[in-house]
Amino acid sequence: MAHKCGNCTEIFGMLSEYLDLELPLAMCQEIDEHLATCPPCVDFVKSLRKTVDLCRQYEPSETPAPLGEAARRDLLAAYRRMLTGEFAKPEKIELPR
């Protein structure tokens, strides 16, 4: 099953909002459909959900907080790794000499 990178970048742009359930239903369905065919994105979402859960544990505020500063930075870093292909190619290892 081919990985549609073009789709992924769009999807990833929406993911943080998707996790906060702030997206319109149609967009959520679009993301769900993409996730159904794209294992790399599923893994990514799982790690994001973990991040969000941790964030909410650390900050038990009265109102449900959106992604915290640190979580957003993690998301952005992971997103950039994904865009440069490193996320999809974990076997790319450079040995020190």
Q: In this complex, which beta carbon is closest to Zn ion, that of residue 40 or of residue 68? A: 40
Cβ(42)–Cβ(11) below 8 Å = no
User: 5 to 24, contacts with Zn ion by CB under 5 A?
Assistant: 8
Q: Tell me how far, at minimum, the Cβ of 63 lies from Zn ion, in Å.
A: 31
Look-up: residue for tokens 């998707």?
18
User: 30 to 59, contacts with Zn ion by CB under 5 A?
Assistant: 38, 41
Cβ(67)–Cβ(19) below 8 Å = yes
Q: In this complex, which beta carbon is closest to Zn ion, that of residue 38 or of residue 67? A: 38
Look-up: residue for tokens 């505020």?
61
By the 10 Å C-beta count (0-12 exposed, 13-18 middle, 19+ buried), 36 is classed as exposed
Q: In this complex, which beta carbon is closest to Zn ion, that of residue 38 or of residue 48? A: 38
Q: Tell me how far, at minimum, the Cβ of 28 lies from Zn ion, in Å.
A: 15
Name residues whose C-beta falls within 8 Å of residue 93's C-beta, 6 or more positions apart in sequence: none
Q: In this complex, which beta carbon is closest to Zn ion, that of residue 30 or of residue 68? A: 30
Q: Where do contacts with Zn ion occur on this chain (CB under 5 A)?
A: 8, 38, 41
